[in-house]
């Protein structure tokens, strides 16, 4: 990494929760320099020493790569503009996650495809945790595809973005806990299914239920996995250890289960497993935790950017 010539980077949607996290991390990144950062209603304000400009005024010519934390539906248009100007891009919205135009940026899984990628689609926050938890089991043929995998996931309120909504007021969420999007049609489900099939050969059913947790940041997923055969605790943990031994941003817990404290403000997924007793067919409970704004968004985008640019993968990140 040449710290004398940091890579010029543009951040779109920098006043949002994810964009703020991108700025926080990039302004401390030893190999990157933020050249512009955009906002809509917050244009003109200054964040981390950068004055926010409107996205239509972004000086695209001055950057090498753009990171977009614009809302889905909006992001695609501006990422295409950046691409038309010859710029590489990491899109943090869902606009390219199912598109052949982009490389899917689940770093630990798709790393070899990133250095040549012009456009990377950063995974969703819920899918990042679920996929890193499920893919090792799928790749080992351990998931019984005739039964459903059930994912119960809870996210802190920053997961819903910064636009004010009545149901997200402190008075509504504090000291409460509730499911939402019940019925298995959450917008992250197609991304989860497509990636599990492509990277893990899993084509069975998933049942995904998100919950709103009254904390600022963090996702905890309890994943109920039907198994093709009985495994013991050491074997189950050993599968994760083998897949992730060399991964700086994955922590496999032995004989313990993760909680949000293990991951908040870190670009890390923490995974723990527990055997399920008192059932007739074999089953494993996998618990995965991430910070939705870091490994679930801004941190993983920077991890992907680092690999794209040939920088040390964890530059600017705390895993
Ligand atoms: N929150 C998460 O945990 C999370 C995790 C993974 C991925 N994502 C994805 O990351 C993206 C950003 O999420 P977020 O939670 O940070 O959202 P957010 O807090 O609502 O921020 C959205 C950003 O986009 C700007 N913006 C909104 N509408 C715009 C428009 N029409 N033209 C130009 N700029 C516009 C906003 O500017 P102003 O605020 O100045 O108006 C703000 O900077 C979304 O695509 C989301 O799906 C979010």
Task: Provide the percentage of residues in the chain whose pLDDT is more than 90.
Answer: 98
Q: What is the mean pLDDT of the segment spanning 255-275?
A: 97
Task: Determine, yes or no, domain membership for 100.
Answer: yes
| Residues 194, 110 share a domain | no
> Residue 15, SS3?
coil
| Residues 141, 113 share a domain | no
State the helix-helix crossing angle for 125-139 and 233-244, rounded to 10 degrees. 110
Task: Determine, yes or no, domain membership for 317.
Answer: no
Q: How far is the CA of 299 from the centre of ligand 1 (A)?
A: 16
The pLDDT score that the predictor gives to residue 89 is 98
Q: Could you tell me the two tokens for 5? A: 């010539």
| Residues 90, 204 share a domain | no
Q: What is the mean pLDDT of the segment spanning 99-119?
A: 98
Task: Determine, yes or no, domain membership for 1.
Answer: no
Q: What is the pLDDT of residues 279-319, one digit of tens each?
A: 999 999 999 999 999 999 999 999 999 999 999 999 999 99
> Residue 286, SS3?
strand
What's the domain count of the chain? Answer: 2
| Residues 159, 119 share a domain | no
Q: What is the pLDDT of residues 211-243, one digit of tens each?
A: 999 999 999 999 999 999 999 999 999 999 999
Considering the entire predicted model, what is its pTM? 0.98
| Residues 94, 174 share a domain | no
Half-sphere exposure of 254 (CA within 13 A, CB side): 7
| Residues 159, 36 share a domain | no
DSSP code of residue 115: T
Q: What is the pLDDT of residues 178-193, one digit of tens each?
A: 999 999 999 899 999 9
Give the burial string for 164-195 (b: 16+ CB within 10 Å, else e): eeeebeeeebeeeeeeeeeeeebebbebbbeb
H/E segment holding residue 169? none
Residue 3 pLDDT greater than 60, yes or no: no
Would the CB of 161 count as within 6 Å of ligand 1?
Answer: yes
- Distance, in Å, from the CA atom of 290 to the CA atom of 211, rounded to the nearest integer, reads 15
> Residue 51, SS3?
strand
Q: Which atom of ligand 1 is nearest to the CA of 52?
A: 40
Q: What is the CATH number of the domain that holds 141?
A: 3.30.360.10
Pocket test for ligand 1, best of 11, 14, 18, 186 (most atoms within 8 A of CB): 18
- Rounded to whole angstroms, what are the CA distances from 46 to 35, 37, 43, 98, 180? 13, 10, 8, 34, 35
Would the CB of 17 count as within 6 Å of ligand 1?
Answer: yes
| Residues 208, 81 share a domain | no
Of the candidates 157, 165, 155, the one whose C-alpha atom is nearest the C-alpha of residue 125 is: 155
CA dihedral 236, 240, 241, 246 (to 10 degrees): 170
| Residues 36, 87 share a domain | yes
Domain coverage including residue 190: 125-292
Write the DSSP assignment of 211-238 as a string of letters: EE-SSSS-EEEEEEEEBSS---HHHHHH
Task: Determine, yes or no, domain membership for 319.
Answer: no
Would the CB of 69 count as within 6 Å of ligand 1?
Answer: yes
Q: What is the pLDDT of residues 121-164, one digit of tens each?
A: 999 999 999 999 999 999 999 999 999 999 999 999 999 999 99
| Residues 274, 179 share a domain | yes
Position 4 confidence tier, pLDDT thresholds 50, 70, 90 = low
Q: What is the pLDDT of residues 19-66, one digit of tens each?
A: 999 999 999 999 999 999 999 999 999 999 999 999 999 999 999 999
List 251's β-bridge partners, or say none. 270
Q: What is the mean pLDDT of the segment spanning 81-104?
A: 98
Task: Determine, yes or no, domain membership for 45.
Answer: yes
Q: Could you tell me the two tokens for 199? A: 């990277």
| Residues 138, 110 share a domain | no
């Amino acid at each position: 990494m040449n710290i004398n010539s940091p890579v010029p980077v543009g951040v779109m949607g920098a006043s949002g929760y994810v964009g703020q996290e991108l700025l926080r991390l990039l302004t401390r990144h030893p190999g990157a320099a933020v050249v512009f950062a955009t906002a809509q209603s917050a244009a003109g304000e200054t964040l981390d020493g950068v004055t926010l400009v409107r996205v239509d005024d972004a000086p695209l010519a001055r950057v090498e790569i753009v990171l977009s934390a614009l809302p889905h539906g909006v992001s695609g248009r501006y990422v295409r503009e950046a691409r038309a100007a010859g710029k590489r891009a990491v899109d943090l919205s869902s606009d390219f996650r199912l598109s052949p135009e982009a490389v899917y940026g689940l770093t630990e899984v798709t790393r070899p495809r990133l250095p040549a990628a012009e456009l990377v689609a950063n995974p969703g926050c819920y899918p990042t945790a679920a996929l890193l938890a499920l893919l090792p089991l799928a790749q080992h043929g351990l998931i019984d595809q005739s039964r459903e995998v059930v994912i119960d996931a809870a996210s802190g309120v920053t997961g819903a973005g910064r636009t004010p909504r009545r149901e997200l007021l402190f008075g509504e969420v504090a000291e409460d806990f509730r499911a939402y999007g019940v019925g298995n049609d959450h917008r992250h489900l197609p991304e989860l299914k497509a990636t599990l099939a492509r990277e893990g050969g899993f084509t069975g059913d998933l049942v995904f239920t998100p919950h709103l947790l009254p904390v600022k940041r963090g996702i905890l997923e309890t994943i109920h996995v039907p198994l093709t055969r009985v495994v013991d605790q050491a074997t189950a943990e050993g599968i994760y250890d083998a897949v992730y031994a060399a991964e700086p941003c994955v922590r496999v817990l032995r004989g313990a289960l993760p909680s949000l404290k293990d991951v908040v403000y870190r670009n890390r997924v923490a995974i723990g497993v527990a055997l399920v007793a008192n059932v007739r067919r074999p089953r494993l409970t996998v618990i995965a935790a991430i910070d939705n704004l870091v490994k679930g968004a801004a941190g993983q985008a920077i991890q992907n950017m680092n690999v794209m640019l040939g920088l040390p993968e964890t530059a600017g990140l705390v895993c």
